[in-house]
């Protein structure tokens, strides 16, 4: 699946980051899916000059303070980027970060922000998605909280294996 532009990602804290990396890697290997860095997309398909986008990402990071995110249950959709994901609660802090990001990047209102953390990318039938969920038995994140305090700017042009991190920055904690 190809996409265009850049994306602004919220990066999980170190403990969760490594655990999600392992899940994404293991599902990718088992089901032939691309491997990617765990993240909660704040903005996607952002167009512009990389230097300008980096500057805006820095401005966003300076205005954000670390905040908690709360995970919900596993879900899946008929969407290449969301066949299996963890729901993320739409907290006031997360909605505020979304609004601030859209303001800084001059992005008009969009459909309602649906924060999530994807665990695999691809198009899979229902039976395969059920197997994936069984693979995650014993890995229940529902109700758990983590602190988010980093942003990453990714060039997400083309296939997932061609994506590259432009840079990562901590919030002005």
Please determine, for residue 126, whether its predicted confidence score (pLDDT) is greater than 60: yes
- CA 39/CA 17 separation, integer angstroms: 8
Please determine, for residue 89, whether its predicted confidence score (pLDDT) is greater than 90: yes
Which tens digits make up the pLDDT trace of 32-85? 999 999 999 999 889 999 999 999 999 999 999 999 999 999 999 999 999 999
Give the tokens for residue 163: 């994506």
- Taking the domains of the chain in order of start, what are their residue ranges? 6-170
Is residue 171 within 8 Å of 150, Cβ to Cβ? yes
CATH topology of domain 6-170: Cyclic Phosphodiesterase; Chain: A, (3.90.1140)
- CA 52/CA 159 separation, integer angstroms: 23
* Predicted TM-score (pTM) above 0.75: yes
């Amino acid at each position: 699946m190809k996409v265009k532009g850049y994306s602004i990602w919220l990066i999980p804290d170190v403990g969760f980051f490594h655990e999600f990396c392992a899940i994404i890697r293991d599902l990718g290997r088992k089901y032939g899916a691309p491997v990617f860095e765990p993240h909660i997309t704040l903005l996607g398909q952002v167009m512009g000059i990389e230097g300008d986008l980096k500057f805006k990402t820095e401005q966003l990071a300076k205005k954000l303070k670390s905040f908690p995110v709360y995970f919900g249950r596993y879900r899946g959709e008929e969407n290449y980027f969301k066949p299996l994901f963890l729901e993320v609660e739409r907290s006031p802090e997360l909605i505020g970060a979304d609004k601030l990001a859209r303001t800084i990047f001059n992005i008009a209102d969009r459909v309602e922000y649906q924060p999530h953390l994807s665990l695999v990318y691809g198009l899979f039938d229902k039976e395969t998605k059920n197997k994936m969920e069984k693979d995650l038995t014993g890995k229940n994140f529902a109700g758990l909280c983590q602190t988010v305090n980093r942003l990453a700017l990714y060039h997400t042009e083309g296939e997932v294996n061609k994506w590259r991190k432009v840079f990562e920055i901590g919030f002005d904690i």
